Chains A and B, each alone.
Chain A
Amino acid sequence: MDPARRLGPAQIGVLTQLVVATVLLGGIYALISVGLTLIFGIMRVVNFAHGEFLMLGMYLAFWAFVAFTADPYFVVVVAIPLFFVVGLVVYGLVMRGVIHASHNVQIFTTVGLSTVLQNVALVAWSGDFRYVRPWHLSTVLRAGSTIFNLTQVVASLIAVALTLTLVAFMKWTHAGRVMRATAQDRDAATLMGIDTDRVYRLTFAIGIAAVGAAGVLVAPLYSVYPTAGLQFVLLSYVVVVLGGLGDMLGAMIGSLIVAAVEVAGSYLFGAAWKEIFYFILFILVLGFRPAGLFGQRGAGTLGV
């Protein structure tokens, strides 16, 4: 039977809703992942603490909302420079010393950092689930038969705008070009007189600023608690791996794929199981396509 004929108006309505939901979610995931793509692509450091900066961004949104009833969309403006500075400090204290170290050292350093940040949050703000409920969360938008709340739409739009700004920055500014040059060949960049330590510091700070901003934006959409970052860090690694390591446009496409898997999975099996889909997707992608869907397996993986 022709499947197209089975698509009545109701099914088309559902389909549109799923597609729009995917795009909205994908936009947010892109901003979360793009910082990781930068750090991973340029510094070649796997940052297991990435999700914890997202979590800190969520708490920033929560406390700003509680203290000043500040809308998360205004807090973002503060969050970007604030997390940029946080990135600089963490780079100086922790990352700088391990950037040339072995993978194991980097893994455990960032795992340790993740443990510390999670538990600082736990001690300071307890393990309670917190919620940010700005007015626009209950404002509903209709497009035909599909319904979305304003928060989701605005968060996604801001996320996409920030991501595109970052892509443009990397492509057209001098600093961006220097960063990309360093990503391609660390040694050659050093020979060209590029101060790689400065490049890494900048990269890390920008990456953390991006994920901190993302945390503020998603705070109204998820509950806020000390280990909230974990599911996002694994998710952003799925995106980064799918998109081909260090490729920012690839990461945006990867975000859409992950969002599509999550949206379709929730629709078919129920939202309670949604995380399990991208974890399984993650293991499958890592196991069978470690260079991403679009990337080529680098000659370096074999090392011969």
Chain B
Amino acid sequence: MFGLAALTPILVRDAYFLDSLVLILLWGALSAAWNVAGGYAGQVSIGHASFFGIGAYSAALTVTRFGGGPWFGMLVGIVISIGAGFIIGFLSNRLKGPYFALSTIAFSQVLLIGVSRWRGFTSGAEGIPVPFRPGFATLGLGHVGWVYMALAVALVCYAVEVYLERSRVGYQLAGVREDEDAAEALGIPTRRLKVGAVTLSAALTSVCGSLWAQYVGFVDPTYVFSVDLSVRFALNTIIGGMGTALGPFLGSILITSLETYLRATFAGVKAGFTGIYLIIYGTALILVVRFVPDGLAGIAARVRVRRAHA
């Protein structure tokens, strides 16, 4: 699948199509990053937009306020996200299930309000345009360049997931997700692993946020810290299959294509557009968790098993 994505720019030159591909890969990478905490460690966050926003703002502010490069901004974002990840990780050790989810929403709201109100530094609710300067060092890439950039980050996130499926620490994390008390009795330092998973997930999300800021060229607090965005990371993963490596990418292909299709269909009614696809998202979320809890990857696995038995 990733190989196909790598070949596409050679075969197709359509900017619109390549743009969709970049978005599919970026959303897939973000959902995979969410999956590290939510799917593998079982720490379901609805505030991951916090880390996305930290990454986006770190890159945008480094470029516009301090004259630094976006790569350095990305690094700043990683460092801040690790700090924020520790806070959320600490909360995950105190809180279970719905309480943890609530505290992550509150965290993203604190950032949203903070960034919106601190006008002097962040330009507040108006947001910051990120200048386009051609070149790799300034992340001013063409469509083809962005496809490979997004592909690279998607592969990194995918590799982290695969590692968590096969490695020692991955199995231990699965134990933590399934039953923390039992995992402790088996000698697994559950608190440390949870904080580690949440922090890694935060750092990966932040990297994607920094790239996104450069790709789109504009950041504003109400979008990058929104609950809708956090839900979207989770939604892609749930539809694709939580705790599976390919799931977030499958979910991203489906949801991002749907969005692109709807955007084309409802292009005339611009105001209504956002609402319509979010209504579809929400409905999909309700139906999937109820009727297909293990997502597309789960369906695929079941089909394989059935074929093997037939």
Contact = CB atoms under 8 A, between A and B. Distances in A.
Interface string B140-159: 00000000000000000000
A153 interface: no
Interface stretch (B17-25, B69-77, B244-252, B275-283): B275-283
A282 B274 contact: no
A276 interface: yes
A114 B110 CA distance: 20
Contacts of B44: 104, 107
A137 interface: no
A241 B102 CA distance: 11
A115 B95 contact: no
B161 to A, nearest CB: 19
Nearest to A106: B98
B97 interface: yes
B275 A123 contact: yes
A282 B113 contact: no
A272 B117 contact: yes
Interface in A111-126: 111-116, 118-120, 122-123, 126
A286 B98 contact: no
Interface stretch (B59-67, B164-172, B196-204, B286-294): B286-294
A37 to B, nearest CB: 14
A286 B281 contact: no
Contact of B106 (A119, A123, A282, A290): A282
A301 B107 contact: no
Nearest to A44: B98
Contacts of A282: 102-103, 106
B110 A109 contact: no
A280 interface: yes
Nearest to B281: A115
Contacts of B95: 286-287, 290
A108 B289 contact: yes
Contacts of A301: 96
B231 interface: yes
Interface in A283-297: 283, 286-288, 290
For this complex, into which size category does the number of interface residues on chain A fall? 35 or more
Contacts of B282: 111-116, 119
Contact of A103 (B90, B98, B275, B283): B98
Contact of A288 (B94, B238, B285, B293): B94
Interface string B30-63: 0000000000000010100000000000000000
Contact of B90 (A94, A114, A287): A287
B177 to A, nearest CB: 11
A299 interface: no
A149 B281 CA distance: 42
Contacts of B105: 234
Contact of A290 (B99, B114, B234, B275): B99
**4 A-B pairs with least C-beta separation:** A115-B282, A112-B285, A116-B282, A103-B97
Given A115-B231, A279-B109, 14 more contacts: A46-B98, A94-B286, A105-B293, A107-B101, A111-B282, A112-B282, A115-B285, A119-B282, A120-B275, A283-B91, A286-B95, A287-B90, A287-B95, A290-B99
11 contacts: A103-B98, A104-B44, A108-B238, A112-B285, A115-B282, A119-B275, A122-B278, A275-B113, A276-B114, A287-B94, A288-B94
Interface of A: 46, 48, 94, 97-98, 101, 103-109, 111-116, 118-120, 122-123, 126-127, 230-231, 234, 237, 241, 272-273, 275-276, 279-280, 282-283, 286-288, 290, 301-304
